[in-house]
Amino acid sequence: MECAIREAYEETGYHIKTGEILYIREFSDLDLGNHNLEIYLQGEVINGQLTTENIYGNGLDEQYIKEVAWLSENEVQHITVFPEIIKQSEFWKGNAGKGYTKYLGRDEG
């Protein structure tokens, strides 16, 4: 949970309180030779300001993260997002309060 709190601050400028784990996703990045595990947590913003300033000088994030924003379910339909399930209504319903974590699967490539 501490890692999620740190990552949220670095990538958004927000200090957060974490909740339960909602989703887990695995994927391989063949270009970098990495196996990745993503964990999606329920969270609550405590304070802070939406910014990307904290990512500079902290590794590869500054190459990939160009802006941060709050988007609605409808707004994500018109942009490229990863994982693709973010565009599905199933993702937006979430598992909060249902007492289980949904495994989104493993993608190769």
| pLDDT tens sequence across 14-63 | 999 999 888 898 988 888 899 999 998 889 999 999 998 988 887 777 88
Mean pLDDT of 95-99: 65
Q: What is the pLDDT of residues 65-76, one digit of tens each?
A: 888 888 899 999
Give the start-to-end residue ranges of the domains of the chain.
2-102
Burial, 68: exposed, middle or buried (Cβ in 10 Å; 0-12, 13-18, 19+)? middle
Q: What is the rounded CA–CA span in Å between residue 70 and residue 12?
A: 10
Token digits for 7? 């990552």
pLDDT at site 3? 93
State residue 66's pLDDT score: 83
Which helix (H) or strand (E) covers residue 12, if one does?
A: helix 2-12
Amino acid at 107: D
Cα dist. 98→51, 71, 81, 94 in Å? 32, 24, 25, 9
CATH class of the domain defined by 2-102:
alpha beta
